[in-house]
Amino acid sequence: MKNLTLFVILAFLLPVTVSAQQMGPVTGDAENGALLFYQHGCYGCHGYSGYGRQDLNNTGSAILTNEVIFRAYLRGRQNVAPLLPSTAMPNYPANVLNDELVSNIYAYIRSMPENLPESDEVATLRAILESAQEPYTP
């Protein structure tokens, strides 16, 4: 467990990215995971679909490599409150999210659709990029 925690910490600190092929299997129920993702307020920082203050989609984050690492990460967050309010990732001990529920949330995260259209194909984004060429008028 200790080694795993260390690995998770390292995985978080180092700019390690993991490709889709390297990722572990999904065993949980994504549908239930979606519900938990809402109920436990994960959307608060990660958006309803994995884009937000802290993206989950396509980040290649090592934390999402497999269920074991993901679970260790949730369990290994800070558990002493600093005096200042914080919007950092909360801690999730087993008594509030058991292993099965964690697997379900993991399954939901892994099922999140990518949504990054080509800029050229979206009129608004094209217009924004074109506007950069317009001369400055005071």
Tell me the closest approach of the beta carbon of residue 53 to other proteins, in angstroms: 5
Length of the chain: 138
Find the shortest distance in angstroms from Cβ 132 to other proteins: 5
- Catalog residues that contact other proteins under the rule CB under 8 A: 39-41, 43-45, 47-53, 55, 57, 77-81, 84-93, 95-97, 115-117, 119, 122, 124-125, 127-129, 131-133, 136-138
Residue type present at position 26? V
Which residue number, 15 or 135, has a Cβ lying nearer to other proteins? 135
Dihedral sign for Cα 33, 67, 53, 18, please: negative
Among residues 24 and 45, whose Cβ is nearest to other proteins? 45
DSSP code per residue over 72-114: HHHHTS--S--SS---SPPP--TTTS-HHHHHHHHHHHHHPPP
Q: Report the distance separating Cα 84 and Cα 77, nearest Å.
A: 16
Q: How far is the CB of 91 from other proteins (least distance, A)?
A: 4
Closest contact distance (angstroms) between CB of 74 and other proteins is 9
Q: How far is CA 119 from the centre of its chain?
A: 24
Q: Which CB sits closer to other proteins, 70 or 92?
A: 92
* Pick 25 or 80: Cβ nearer other proteins: 80
Rounded (5°) CA angle 52-38-53:
15
